[in-house]
Structure 1
């Protein structure tokens, strides 16, 4: 099956018949999340990666050069969905493991729930990873009119099976709330593209649409049709070769979706957001060069995310890179306000960045918390140019792309100081700890962090529950055990 499949072209031949004469006043919003995409894994940063569609959209839109996410999947999705930092929702430690009764709290009002009150049709296609042990934690109970995808954090791209969990083995793919086996053997990126196009083709354009599209790609396991990995046959590191092919398959997916959007006239009133959920894991083919660290770390390589916004009509200024500070929690109020809502009275951590996104104005954010862990003493805080890191910070270095001839000094593996300070504007790669030269600043930031820590809620970390075993649900990972 070819990614730029011929069916798209056939559908577009009839596009003029399907166009509505009345466009929605509120903009359509497409929110695309790439899973485990590294800073150096997109063509607009690294020309060795073949992402022509993403590059074009990024360069014609606004590249977000200081857009921050969480170090791991579930915490970032919590930010997108709730507008709250994970240390305020109990999701600050690790991820939602498939056999755990762990979830985004049910009392949080999600962004699709807010958008529905503004008249939006809301759809989700892809990876959830915010809990599923009870139906009330699943997408169609959290504000989405439709859902096709999977509940957990990872699985086989073709069989859609997740195994190796406490010796459990189960299928994890849904259409609405039903186990959906028609896509067995089909690469998930293809499945999600076809579903997204089906939603777009059948949407009544007199109503605004919100399509949340968190792809499985490019998270492990590293799997892709050979025609994509073959593009990178010059790379001798197998993980990097396959991973790069997965990125290009994702780029083709965005090509197919945006081609349909363009031909059906949606692009005339649409905002497209593209972001990673965390930094890439170098051990699984990703690369964050020249940033330090990667997925699961508080270093910039784990938290500074590749991303952009694109719109033909909504952006008053486009075709540039914005340096302003933006955090994943800011998407919630920003999109709500762009959609005609009012975020000003909401009890959330996100800050509305409408002027920054639409007009090229300055960021309204001057600080944020990278994370405050509950299961061990570690945290990081940003204030202006300064980044404070405290506690048990994992060792992480600088990893050039596989096969490159970049020489880096050997890593010093002696214990890291319990308090470190970096100037991210002057030293974005975090080579120079300036804490010893700035004791007054360090003390000020430690006090600020202590105040933030005073608002932290206990992390959810329940033990594995044997009731989750798919054998109890006809072989599928299913709600109904908490």
Structure 2
């Protein structure tokens, strides 16, 4: 009888282990804002980011992970698996006072994950439209949302322009007075972790930090870490990076304490390159946020897992793009993306270091600026102006670092005007020092034709003018939905 009970108990334990191992893994997607290529400790030892460094070096560093030049377009990629020029978000960002948005006909990542049984929570910056409730997070698959709708705000007061912008779900919310947003977001993330049973539920947590976007604000204790830096902007910016790192460390500590790490994939990425004009460092890459140069589009990223990665502790150099996270994370969750999206499943590349499923990608196609860029194999072609910051910016920055080069004359309003083309052998010249367009006209023509094929499916940019109905004065001083 005793032996039978022991056998039954062992069988129950075995079945529970099998059920647990079959349960879809937890997914935590951490997005930093405006983090420069050279602003992380695993690449630049002058940066104090011990928590991020430990995760990155123990996981897989993604050294050729591309993003869009600015905020909203990258968030669009993560949520939909489509390039921005297929959703109308290819030009600039969603403005506070204009009715821009990610169209509601796109099924976004949390909606797909909920179909697979996930609980879904979002913390932080949305920046994909809010003029109508249907464009806001809790109407797009998230069980909860704490954060702000717009692109930037004060880290302490949560004011932007003439209004206040902070929500808990649909309600206007006021965090603890004087609390820094990285701490606010970490605390909320930890509350979510404490509310979820890691053995029974599969969690998707999307934490889009405000850090390290302007305004340059940080508690003094973080600024003091970099007291040796004379340039104030750079000193503040670096302090903001370390504040972000501490928040990540606090969150990952709870992930481990509560047992999430037994079955979890953690993804970290920036949304675009660093704004060198506001203290960031993209060296040795060329350019800055807002540009089509590598400094604006090559993002610091890594993945970490205790159990899901077959190879770890290495530098992955295979190319991938932000649109690829959508099908990749669905694969990890046990689902599949709808056919026809731009993203590709990169799980074999990430987990086993296999060759990338991607041989080309679009940096952007912006018909309003008459600019675009494409990568095909080893080559990168830029059409029109790469943007306003065209140099390699040393630190500390000086006024001459922000000069515009002759490319800006190609930022034309007349679509019939002749465009300039630049060609780079990006695998051998990742810092874009040598334009070889004149030397290889056949390759230029080939890439132009390939770019033209992509342009055939372009959706016109949705970049509307400001709407006075958005004014916070009509909503008790708060940026609020209800005006489109």
Fold shared by both chains (TM-score > 0.5): yes
Residue from 458, 461, 473 that aligns with 1:459: 461
Shift of 1:358: 1.4
| Distance in 2 of aligned mates of 1:221 and 1:368 | 32
| Distance in 1 of aligned mates of 2:159 and 2:176 | 12
Aligned match of 1:236: 230
Aligned match of 1:275: 269
Aligned match of 1:15: none
| Distance in 1 of aligned mates of 2:173 and 2:233 | 30
| Distance in 2 of aligned mates of 1:411 and 1:201 | 50
Residue from 293, 299, 304 that aligns with 1:305: 299
| Distance in 1 of aligned mates of 2:57 and 2:197 | 30
Relative to 1, partners in 2 of residues 1:442 and 1:116: Cα closer, same or farther, differing over 3 Å? same
Aligned match of 1:397: 391
Shift of 1:411: 8.8
Residue from 467, 470, 484 that aligns with 1:468: 470
Aligned match of 1:424: 426
The gaps in structure 2 that reach 5 residues or longer are: 1-15, 411-418
Aligned match of 2:353: 360
Instruction: Tell me whether 1:32 sits opposite 2:33 in the alignment.
Output: no
Partner SS for 1:437: coil
Aligned match of 1:317: 311
Aligned match of 1:8: none
When the two structures are aligned, how many residues end up with a matched partner?
A: 454
Aligned match of 1:287: 281
Partner SS for 2:267: strand
| Distance in 2 of aligned mates of 1:193 and 1:66 | 28
Relative to 1, partners in 2 of residues 1:201 and 1:432: Cα closer, same or farther, differing over 3 Å? same
| Distance in 2 of aligned mates of 1:48 and 1:430 | 25
Aligned match of 2:343: 350
Shift of 1:401: 3.0
Partner SS for 2:438: helix
Instruction: Tell me whether 1:332 sits opposite 2:332 in the alignment.
Output: no
Report if the CA contact (8 A) 1:420-1:433 is conserved. Answer: yes
Per-residue CA deviation, residues 83-140 of structure 1 (Å, 9 max, x unaligned), is 0000000000000001010100000000000000000000000000000000000000
Report if the CA contact (8 A) 1:391-1:418 is conserved. Answer: yes
Per-residue CA deviation, residues 130-175 of structure 1 (Å, 9 max, x unaligned), is 0000000000001100000000000000000011xxxxx1110000
Aligned match of 2:12: none
Aligned match of 2:105: 107
| Distance in 2 of aligned mates of 1:378 and 1:460 | 16
Residue from 178, 181, 195 that aligns with 2:188: 195
Provide the aligned C-alpha RMSD in A.
Answer: 1.8
Partner SS for 1:268: helix
Report if the CA contact (8 A) 1:193-1:257 is conserved. Answer: yes
Aligned match of 1:445: 447
Normalised TM-score (structure 1) = 0.92
Report if the CA contact (8 A) 1:296-1:302 is conserved. Answer: yes
Shift of 1:207: 1.1
Aligned match of 2:168: 175
Partner SS for 1:443: helix
Report if the CA contact (8 A) 2:290-2:387 is conserved. Answer: no
Per-residue CA deviation, residues 29-65 of structure 1 (Å, 9 max, x unaligned), is 0000000000010001111000011001000000000
Report if the CA contact (8 A) 2:275-2:289 is conserved. Answer: yes
| Distance in 2 of aligned mates of 1:277 and 1:353 | 18
The gaps in structure 1 that reach 5 residues or longer are: 1-19, 164-168
Aligned match of 1:6: none
- Name which of structure 1's ranges 298-307 and 259-268 shifts more when overlaid on structure 2: 259-268
Shift of 1:389: 0.5
Shift of 1:400: 2.0
| Distance in 2 of aligned mates of 1:263 and 1:376 | 49
Shift of 1:365: 0.2
Shift of 1:182: 3.6
Shift of 1:403: 7.7
Instruction: Tell me whether 1:212 sits opposite 2:209 in the alignment.
Output: no
Aligned match of 2:55: 57
Aligned match of 2:11: none
Relative to 1, partners in 2 of residues 1:426 and 1:134: Cα closer, same or farther, differing over 3 Å? same
| Distance in 1 of aligned mates of 2:72 and 2:279 | 21
Report if the CA contact (8 A) 1:122-1:210 is conserved. Answer: yes
Instruction: Tell me whether 1:69 sits opposite 2:67 in the alignment.
Output: yes
